[in-house]
Chain A
Amino acid sequence: MAGGRPAGSAIEMEGAMRTLPSSGRPSGTGWQSRGPLFGRNYGLSPGSRLLPPRCQENADPQKMAFLLRKQWTLYSVSPLYKFSSADLKDYARMLGVFIAAEKQKGLAVDVDGELGIKVAMSGLPELRGSEQDPAAVLVQLSLRSSVSPKNSEEKLIWSGWFCCVAGDDLLENLPENFTCLPLFLVNGAESYTAIVGSWFQKTFDCCFRRLAISPLNLTWMAAMWTGCKVDKNTAATELLFSVPHLPQPLDISYAIHPEDAKALWDTVQKTPGEITQEEVDVFMECLYSHFHRHFKIHLSATKLVKVSTGIASAHCDGIIKFLQSQYLIGVLMLLTELAISQIQ
Chain B
Amino acid sequence: MQRRQSSKHSKRPLQVHHSNQTDLSAWRKGGTVDTEKSAQNRQSLSDQKNDNEQDSLEQALSYFEKIQDRVSLKKSEVLQKHLSTMESIALKRGLPPEGFDVLLDVALSGKLADTVNTRLLKSLIPASAIPESSIVSSVSWFCVSKCSSNIQLLFLRWLITMFDFIDHKEQVHALYGIFFSFLNDEKLCPYICHVLYLLTRKENVKPFRVRRLLDLQSKMGMQPHLQALLSLYKLFCPELVSITLPQKMKTYFKNADGPWKAAINAVRQRNQANSTVPQPLLLGTAQPHSRKRKWNTQLIVPASSANAQNLVVGGKMSRADSYSANESFPVEQLRTFPQLLQNIHRLEFPSQMGSVLTNPLLLHYMNCSKDESVYLRLYYWMGQTLQEECTWCVVDNNQYEEEFRGFLETVYKAECFLQEGFPSCEEFLYRSLPLWDGVSCRSQILQLVSWIPLSTFSEMKSQLCDPLAQLFFTSSLYFKCSVLESLKELLQNWLNWHVVQLDSESDSQFSSLNTTLSGLVNGVAELINFVGRISTAALHLEKSHTFLLYFILDFYETVCDIYLKYKLPLLIMPPAGVFYPALLSMDSVNLNQLCYIMYRYRTNLIAAKENEMSKKKIQQFKFSSQTYQEYNQYIIAMVGCLWTSSAFQKDNHPEGIRLDDELLKKTGVREYKNSFNIVYHPALMCYAVDFLQQAWPDDTTFNFNLIKGKKWNWYLRYLYGQGLEGLKLFIESSINRVSKASQSKAEDEDEKV
Contact = CB atoms under 8 A, between A and B. Distances in A.
B247 A149 contact: yes
SS class, residues of chain B in contact with chain A: helix
Contacts of B253: 107
B353 interface: yes
Interface stretch (A16-24, A194-202, A324-332): A194-202
Contacts of A79: 376, 380
A207 B380 contact: yes
A202 B247 contact: no
A302 interface: no
Given A177-B373, A202-B352, A193 B295 contact: yes
Q: B198, B200, B296, B384 — which one has the most chain A CB atoms within 10 A of its CB?
A: B296
A149 to B, nearest CB: 6
Interface residues of A, number: 40
A201 to B, nearest CB: 7
A183 to B, nearest CB: 15
Contact of B463 (A37, A112, A202, A203): A37
B580 to A, nearest CB: 38
Interface stretch (B311-319, B466-474, B696-704): B311-319
Nearest to B372: A175
Given A107-B197, A108-B197, A343-B380, A81 B309 contact: no
Contact of B376 (A87, A105, A178, A202): A178
Interface in B64-97: none
B239 interface: no
A116 B384 contact: no
B351 A205 contact: yes
A110 interface: yes
Contact of A207 (B312, B372, B384): B384
A42 B296 CA distance: 22
Given A78-B384, A114-B247, A194-B295, A205 B313 contact: no
B381 A205 contact: yes
Contacts of B388: 209
Interface string B355-389: 00000000000000000110011001101110110
A44 to B, nearest CB: 11
Contacts of A131: none
B380 A78 contact: yes
B390 to A, nearest CB: 12
Given A37-B430, A110-B231, A343-B380, A202 B309 contact: yes
Nearest to A199: B309
Contacts of A98: 309, 312
A205 B463 CA distance: 30
Contacts of A149: 247
Given A111-B235, A111-B313, A146 B197 contact: no
A209 B295 CA distance: 10
Given A37-B430, A205-B353, A209-B388, 12 more contacts: A93-B313, A93-B316, A94-B312, A97-B313, A107-B253, A111-B313, A175-B372, A197-B295, A197-B296, A202-B352, A207-B380, A209-B296
28 contacts: A37-B463, A38-B459, A42-B430, A79-B376, A79-B380, A81-B377, A90-B313, A93-B313, A94-B309, A94-B313, A108-B200, A111-B313, A116-B248, A146-B247, A149-B247, A190-B295, A193-B295, A197-B295, A197-B296, A198-B296, A201-B352, A202-B309, A205-B351, A206-B380, A207-B384, A207-B385, A209-B384, A343-B384
Interface of A: 37-38, 40, 42, 78-79, 81, 87, 90, 93-94, 97-98, 105, 107-108, 110-112, 114, 116, 146, 149, 175, 177-178, 190, 193-194, 197-198, 201-203, 205-209, 343
